Structure 1
Amino acid sequence: MNYTLQDPPRTTPLFERGPRTAPVYRTDLDGLRGLAIGLVVVFHVWFGRVSGGVDVFLVLSGFFFTGLLLRRAEGQRTPWAASVGRRTVRRLVPAMAVVAAAVVVCSIIWLPYTQWGSISAQTLASLFYLQNWELALTWSDYLAADPSVSPLQHLWSMSVQGQFYLVALLAIAALAWLCGKTAQPTLVRPLVGAVVVGFAVVSFLYAANGTATQQGWNYYDSFARGWELLAGAALAVVAPYLRTPRLLRAPLAALGIIGVVACGWLIVDGANLFPGPWALVPVCATAAVILSATGVSPEDWSQPNRLLAHPVMRWLGDIAYPLYLWHWPILIFFLAERGNPHAGLVGGTAVIALSLVLAWLTHRWIEEPLRVRARTSGDSTRRTAVLPRRLAGTTVALLLVSVVGVTAAWQFAVTRVNPPQALNTVDADRYPGAEALASGLATPPAPLRPSVFEAGSDKPPPTGDGCIADWDTAEVITCTYGDAESDRTLALVGSSHAEHWLPALEVLADQHSFRIEVYLKMGCPLTLATDSRYKGESIPDCRDWSAQVIERLGVDRPDWVFTTGTRPRDDGGDETPDEYLAVWSALSARGLNVIAIRDTPWLRRGTVRYNAPDCLAAGGNRLSCGMRREDALNPINPQLEPAARFPSVFPVDMTDAVCEPSVCSVAEGNILIYHDEHHLTASYSRSLAGPLGRELQPLLGWW
């Protein structure tokens, strides 16, 4: 039985006897699994992108597990479903528990305590096979996204598989029970085949649509990934009735191997394309290898199949599951410790070597003992088999209880008993914030506010009010702030980098009686560019949303449009891209006046972005956690020159109220500037009301 990244017991044949085939054990598929895990590790460590290997795992998992269920169902062994469920848990959970425990311990030792909450949440999600949904929801929650990659992120694929196993087990058990009740056990396989094909088609179409509209969610979505598992399930349904013709064996195997190996090289942006139609490459390649020796005895296998069945490849297949579990957290902790996004040749080799060692130890001392049953009556043989099994079982049980207890306790204590609260006001005398820079106000000794724990909750109102469209919402959402009865209107438009100015504008609106209408979308500044991205992730509906907003503004006709006029460059500094000029042109054509605010710095060291609260929690101070002003921003505001060509566009630069002459720190005037890597805290934004008001007064003329 083989239904995950692990090796199958040698006593269970892959196929049942069918009309034309005899049971055949496929050691070449062990090698295919080894090849896939090798590609996954190499691409993660040295290339920083997906290889398609996970998609190979998904197809194989669907193939093996569905085949197992069908054999059990057709054999009418009762009760078989409970037995399969127990064996599935015994095969999946132990290695997962060991790795999860190691991640929790290493996180406590090496990661700042501000990350423990997300680590504990993801640990629980992983152990209960919900990690893919945890990551999907984090992606949807734009402001919850953290620049530090989780050491458990890779377990989303195991969650998808675990969910598939549960659904497949229940569905096939139910169909088998119904067929047994009607005395038609031979109908199980045809019924399963019909269900599998139907749902696979629906899932594929859903994934293809999601790739174009909501890829951040789509990548982790079990429903979008389902067709890959169901492709393997469909092969399991028909496999007993197939025997591969001799002339097709070598070509199918060779093409399959080439497809698996070449996938990561040919599809360089798999994270933004899978599991859409491009995932057909690894899926079809895996199917080709499976079909290349279906119903064929090992003596008649082609040379490519024998190559996959080589002992080295099979050994990699044996340790594939623990190797997959170990390699990612080792890589992430290594990169975090070095502060470098790349492992390098020597470092990457060390990561792979350590991963292989830990994977073998986990396989040898955790997985294998829990699979072995003492079958002889001799006392010495029984002790030899039972003692390691009991030791491994006890170790896993203790680790599970400890990990679940610690992470659940942390979640309860942080999110239930004493959750961080957003700040509404601070004492202006003790907390001058931006005025310490803009007006030279004295900064008396006082604790930093918000604290590093409070920072994540100190966000502008639209985030909590549902007044910013999320990744998957293309409709224009508007809300009113300030003086709703005023006949003077300022429209706040764009992404969260426009949104984080709202607390400052609210203070001014209360003082000077004007209305603020927000038109906001996560990760989407106003743009008419066809390919809008945030952190490398495509936001397909950003252009359509922007076009709708521009048309809406032409109808609503606010007195002023307030939006961002620059953005950071990956190589340092900032810029005003041509796509922003196209927006200015569209707004000017509608007779709208535009205030273009220079974007605030994004914290980064080289190309590595980092989180301000995490840096402070790790022992840094407001200056060491900041960045040089010359690295963050160009010496001259890049929007000045292009704005001069638009009479209705007025550039505003608040940099001197955020950055010191030589450094952009993470706190000024006792107020934390950032609640993550690049968004202003609401508290610091409110402290910017004075400096911003002095810049806006001659433009607006409202006070």
Structure 2
Amino acid sequence: MMTLAPARPAPVTKPGITSRAPSAKEGARASAFYRHDLDGLRGIAIALVAVFHVWFGRVSGGVDVFLALSGFFFGGRLLRTAMTPGASLWPVPEVTRLVRRLLPVLVVVLAASAVLTILVQPETRWEAFADQSLASLGYFQNWELANTASDYLRAGEAVSPLQHIWSMSVQGQFYIAFLALIFLSALLFRRVFKKHMRVAFVVLLSALTIASFVYAVVAHNADQATAYYNSFARAWELLLGALVGALVPYVRWPMWLRTTAAVISLAAILACGALIDGVKEFPGPWALVPVGATVLFILSAANRVADPHCDGRIPAPNRLLATAPFVSLGAMAYSLYLWHWPLLIFWLSYSGHAHANFVEGVCVLMLSGVLAWLTTKLIENPLRYRSSTATKSAVPLRTRLGRSTVVLGSVVALLGVALTATSFTWREHVAVERSTGKELPGLSMTGYPGAHAILDQAKVPKLPMRPTVLEAQNDIPQTTEDGCISDFDNVGVINCTYGDKAATRTIALAGGSHAEHWITALDLLGRMHSFKVVTYLKMGCPLTTEQVPLVMGDNRPYPKCHEWNQRVMAKIIADRPDFLFTTATRPWNIKPGDVMPGSYLGIWQTLSDNGIPILAMRDTPWLARSGKPFFAADCLADGGDAISCGVRRSDVLSARNPTLDFVTQFPMLKPLDMSDAVCRKDICRAVEGNVLLYHDAHHISKTYMRTMTEELGRQIGAATGWWVD
């Protein structure tokens, strides 16, 4: 890795400057001087990333430092090649170098993580790991996570041991795209601009950087959780580093200003994680702090040799980071980054702890450091620098070392093939297992009474639970399968019709996914009692007058929910259904029990003013421990039972239905309460009548919902007067 430097600077020897020929260990770092201080900065960045992950559960900004440095190093090398007359623009050697540099350690960490996943995590997590392993190997893990973040039904999934590889995927995509961009542009620029090639490249990179930054701001405001992993929203961080690589030879700074810049930039990097909540603020404008500080630090020691007006000294912070401890830490930053996160996640999964204490964190970091040092020394460096492992005079030694690297490379390649094959095999196994879910609608009520085991004390024979822990994920409402619910980005109102589609009586089903999961029972009741059900649904978005709604579970802003609410209320009023069915309560976030939010009252008033009666369903319990959602299927797969994988009723439901307090104020409000169909007097179990209640952390499975149809029909019949059960 090199900075973009003048062609032949005068050879000098200063702290942090290397004028000697690169050693075997340094490989092909063929430059007149080498920025050891930036290796040290990489060491600082990985230390911040690991420490903040382990003890503070925050984003430190260290990853953004990595991205900017990657753009600077990689972009600088490509720009030098592109602007050198006669230099080859054939990309294969560069791609080969990237593969040798990045893949071996990644494969080893993924293979170790696969073994730990099987040993530590329940089998319900194996499919997600297989998907993310393939995504990591294919360098599209960031898009896999972006899709997960935008999927409300997967929002409560446990943190993945491979989640951190999103940044590696962003970098890998950037490397290939930038390689194609620069080399193809160079073919044109060498003919058209000739001596002005540098200006042409600066203009090109500036335009792309600005475009990416503007996109990042827009995407951040629209859907920050998805934008966080978006390659286009992150590209400006790498492009800015590459742009600095093009401009750095022209920087002329007096010593006092360079020292000031180095101190300020290093302080900003160290303080970033404590002062900025990067999980919520990146990749928006606040990401300029770590990225800008990295750029400033690079420039603080730029062109210190080539400038005739410079005395060759470098600022004290740069000299400090060029010392051996920081450089050594930076040298194994890639391996340490890959190891620390899965070790932390597997330990938390094994111990059941929500966070690592001081001693646990120290142990995780120490083990990560040892594994990082070993993989750097034994895997990364031998494969990365195999062409420079010995001098030409030591032919026998070169032969032996060459053979050892071939063996090592072959072992790593076989690990990669085995990991890929295993991932595909497990995904196929899960697909076959879930295919049996087609029989779930026909399960015998005698063998699988579900809610009737609580409501009617039905006998429960000893039969395997259905849906199984692997079937649960796909036991979802028909509306989701039919695309009849607006996703996070869509503010349009989607109407689909269920029940008796020819009926003249209509119930509008409106709100978020907790209104949606009642469609299974409503569809059956509609066909039984001659009414149709028309859907008005949006993921994570109940009917509310709240100006800035939050996504339940992670509390991220959801402005499109407000926009959709304005549209859907106008549509419902225009359609004038006979009744509107929606949820009327939510769980408290700050204390046990449930509540009817004040932001719902305006909805009730608007509907009442327009003569539309409301079937106000009390929300079903959410599974949570220590404020965090958990999946019943995960708990059961990990050895839990119906009771241990459930929740206490008093934790999730108040003693009295909160909706009842508003009946006098809103006479058209018809409270419905199915709590006794999902909870016993003291506990809400994960399994009742051989049926799994939840397909995730808080949505009722379609199979269990069928068993609640009779009781729901009794309550709706009484509320509407359409029939009597």
* Interval of TM-score (by shorter of Structure 1 and Structure 2): over 0.9
Conserved? CA contact 2:513–2:539, under 8 Å: yes
Does residue 277 (structure 1) correspond to residue 311 (structure 2)? The answer is: no
CA gap 1:507/1:531 in 2 versus in 1, 3 angstroms: closer
CA gap 1:642/1:384 in 2 versus in 1, 3 angstroms: farther
Aligned residue number for residue 170 of structure 1:
180
Q: For residue 454 of structure 1, what is the amino acid of its counterpart? A: E
Aligned residue number for residue 413 of structure 2:
397
Aligned residue number for residue 340 of structure 2:
327
Does residue 377 (structure 1) correspond to residue 393 (structure 2)? The answer is: yes
Conserved? CA contact 1:13–1:24, under 8 Å: no
Q: For residue 382 of structure 1, what is the amino acid of its counterpart? A: R
Conserved? CA contact 1:420–1:453, under 8 Å: no
Q: In 2, distance between residues paired with 1:638 and 1:306?
A: 65
Aligned residue number for residue 20 of structure 1:
none
Aligned residue number for residue 13 of structure 2:
none
Q: In 2, distance between residues paired with 1:64 and 1:457?
A: 45
Q: For residue 495 of structure 2, what is the amino acid of its counterpart? A: T
- Give the one of 129, 136, 156 matched to 1:126: 136
Aligned residue number for residue 139 of structure 1:
149
SS of corresponding position for 2:372:
helix
SS of corresponding position for 1:424:
helix
CA gap 1:405/1:670 in 2 versus in 1, 3 angstroms: same
Aligned residue number for residue 210 of structure 2:
201
Greater Cα shift, 326-335 or 421-430: 421-430
TM (normalized to structure 2)? 0.91
Conserved? CA contact 1:100–1:123, under 8 Å: yes
Q: In 1, distance between residues paired with 2:279 and 2:2?
A: 27
Aligned residue number for residue 106 of structure 1:
116
What does 1:618-697 align with in structure 2 at a 5 Å threshold? 618-697=638-717
SS of corresponding position for 1:357:
helix
Greater Cα shift, 563-572 or 63-72: 563-572
CA gap 1:255/1:583 in 2 versus in 1, 3 angstroms: farther
Q: In 1, distance between residues paired with 2:421 and 2:156?
A: 25
SS of corresponding position for 2:665:
coil
Q: In 2, distance between residues paired with 1:688 and 1:569?
A: 25
Aligned residue number for residue 435 of structure 1:
452
Does residue 598 (structure 1) correspond to residue 618 (structure 2)? The answer is: yes
Q: For residue 519 of structure 1, what is the amino acid of its counterpart? A: Y
Does residue 487 (structure 1) correspond to residue 498 (structure 2)? The answer is: no
Conserved? CA contact 2:588–2:595, under 8 Å: yes
- Give the one of 571, 583, 596 matched to 1:552: 571
CA deviation string 1:553-598 (max 9, x = no partner): 2211112121112222334332222222333233333332222211
- Give the one of 54, 59, 75 matched to 1:66: 75
Conserved? CA contact 2:433–2:471, under 8 Å: no
- Structure 1 alignment gaps of length 5 or more: 16-22
Aligned residue number for residue 315 of structure 1:
328
The Cα of 1:367 is off from its aligned counterpart by 0.9
CA deviation string 1:75-116 (max 9, x = no partner): 333365211111111001011001100111111111111211
Does residue 473 (structure 1) correspond to residue 481 (structure 2)? The answer is: no
What does 1:12-411 align with in structure 2 at a 5 Å threshold? 23-75=32-84, 76-78=86-88, 80-180=90-190, 182=191, 186-268=195-277, 270-297=278-305, 299-372=312-385, 373=388, 374-379=390-395, 381-382=397-398, 385-386=401-402, 388-411=404-427
Question: Percentage identity across aligned positions?
Answer: 47
Q: In 2, distance between residues paired with 1:64 and 1:419?
A: 49
CA gap 1:416/1:293 in 2 versus in 1, 3 angstroms: farther
Q: For residue 562 of structure 2, what is the amino acid of its counterpart? A: R
**C-alpha RMSD of the superposition:** 2.2
- Give the one of 514, 523, 539 matched to 2:558: 539
Q: In 2, distance between residues paired with 1:408 and 1:188?
A: 47
SS of corresponding position for 1:148:
coil
| Number of residue pairs matched by the alignment | 690
Q: For residue 411 of structure 2, what is the amino acid of its counterpart? A: T
Q: In 2, distance between residues paired with 1:129 and 1:638?
A: 49
Q: In 2, distance between residues paired with 1:589 and 1:366?
A: 71
Conserved? CA contact 1:126–1:159, under 8 Å: yes
Q: For residue 589 of structure 1, what is the amino acid of its counterpart? A: D
Q: In 1, distance between residues paired with 2:174 and 2:89?
A: 21
CA gap 1:307/1:578 in 2 versus in 1, 3 angstroms: farther
CA gap 1:284/1:586 in 2 versus in 1, 3 angstroms: farther
SS of corresponding position for 1:209:
helix
CA gap 1:686/1:91 in 2 versus in 1, 3 angstroms: same
Q: In 1, distance between residues paired with 2:366 and 2:566?
A: 51
CA gap 1:404/1:186 in 2 versus in 1, 3 angstroms: farther
Conserved? CA contact 2:2–2:35, under 8 Å: no
Q: In 2, distance between residues paired with 1:179 and 1:231?
A: 21
Aligned residue number for residue 17 of structure 2:
none
- Structure 2 alignment gaps of length 5 or more: 4-21, 306-310
Greater Cα shift, 371-380 or 674-683: 371-380
Q: In 1, distance between residues paired with 2:401 and 2:96?
A: 20
CA gap 1:521/1:306 in 2 versus in 1, 3 angstroms: same
Q: For residue 329 of structure 1, what is the amino acid of its counterpart? A: P
Conserved? CA contact 1:70–1:188, under 8 Å: no
Does residue 701 (structure 1) correspond to residue 721 (structure 2)? The answer is: yes
Conserved? CA contact 1:208–1:275, under 8 Å: yes
The Cα of 1:310 is off from its aligned counterpart by 2.8
CA gap 1:482/1:439 in 2 versus in 1, 3 angstroms: same
Q: In 2, distance between residues paired with 1:266 and 1:212?
A: 20
